[in-house]
Amino acid sequence: MYKKLENIINNFDVDLSEKNIPNLPVDIYDGYCIKRREDKHNIYLYSIGPDKIDDNAEIIYDPTNGLKSIGDLIVKRNK
């Protein structure tokens, strides 16, 4: 899932605006499209991760703890 997010966010041909969210891929952890959020400097795409809790891209998933780790799979791009 992380590689899929990286490919989307690094492909500058993809429109990451709010209106394009339905065209983003399905998050394998909840069955809905991957999430998007932005702040003043960055755009974030994220999956809720294996814990299936939406942390609003504020807690980064640590794969060294396996599937029991909390957090979201997050990629970001500068605006």
Mean pLDDT of residues grouped by 10 in the chain (79 residues)? 68 60 80 90 90 94 86 87
3-state DSSP helix/strand/coil % of the chain, to nearest 5: 25, 25, 50
Residue 44 CA to residue 25 CA, distance in Å, equals: 14
The H-or-E segment that residue 75 falls in is: strand 73-78
The reported pLDDT for the residue numbered 56 is: 95
- Characterize 41-59 residue by residue with b for buried, 16 or more Cβ atoms within 10 angstroms of its Cβ, and e for exposed: eebbbbbbbbbeebbebee
The reported pLDDT for the residue numbered 8 is: 67
The reported pLDDT for the residue numbered 66 is: 81
